[in-house]
Structure 1
Amino acid sequence: MSGEALSDDYDLRGLNCPLPVLKTQKRMRAMAAGERLWVRTSDPLAVIDIPNFCRERGHGLIETESVDDGHRFLIERG
């Protein structure tokens, strides 16, 4: 399966901790294992919170990218 082709984009810019992680968690519950999700956030704590969330929940953090208005994370559902 090509995860990149199936990646969805979830824009959480403007939300602060803990909302980006909580909303990402809720969105990923509805996804099948192996599906990927791009998460965009302007929350500066997301660079700590999103990797911890992935590690604790068994999801793969495929890519982390710093962008002008925050960060993007590519997460694969575990």
Structure 2
Amino acid sequence: MSTEYTVTETLDVKGESCPMPVVKTKGTIDDLSEGDVLEVLATDSGSMSDLTGWAETTPGVELLDQEEDGDVFKHYVRKTE
């Protein structure tokens, strides 16, 4: 899934559990411009599958990458329209 991208904005949802990482990601992505990349920082391990499922079923977004960095799960989402 790795590709080159530049993060436009970072959303910190550490300490929040399902469904808040997805809810707040959607709200933040809605305010970005086409082509912008949102970095989402979460501590909920469920965010890995939750954000994948959300991105796969949501028009206008693309999940670029996900990684685990210690206790933090990093997600990179591009607004495509």
Same fold (TM over 0.5): yes
Specify the code of the residue in structure 2 equivalent to 1:25: K
Match of 1:65 in 2: 67
The size of the alignment, in residue pairs, is 76
- Which deviations, in whole Å up to 9, do the C-alpha atoms of 1:15-56 show, x marking residues without a partner? 000000000000111111111000010011101100111111
Match of 1:53 in 2: 54
TM-score norm. by structure 1 comes to: 0.88
Report deviation, 1:63. 1.1
Q: Secondary structure at the match of 2:41?
A: strand
Structure 2: runs of 5 or more not aligned: none
The percent of aligned pairs where both chains have the same amino acid is 21
TM-score norm. by structure 2 comes to: 0.85
Superposed, which structure 2 residues align to 1:15-54 within 5 Å? Answer: 15-54=16-55
Distance 1:72 1:19 in 2: 15
Q: Report the RMSD for the aligned CA atoms in angstroms.
A: 1.5
Report deviation, 1:3. 4.4
Q: Which has the higher helix share?
A: 1
Distance 1:44 1:65 in 2: 11
Q: Is the 8 A contact 1:41 1:71 kept in 2?
A: yes
Report deviation, 1:70. 2.5
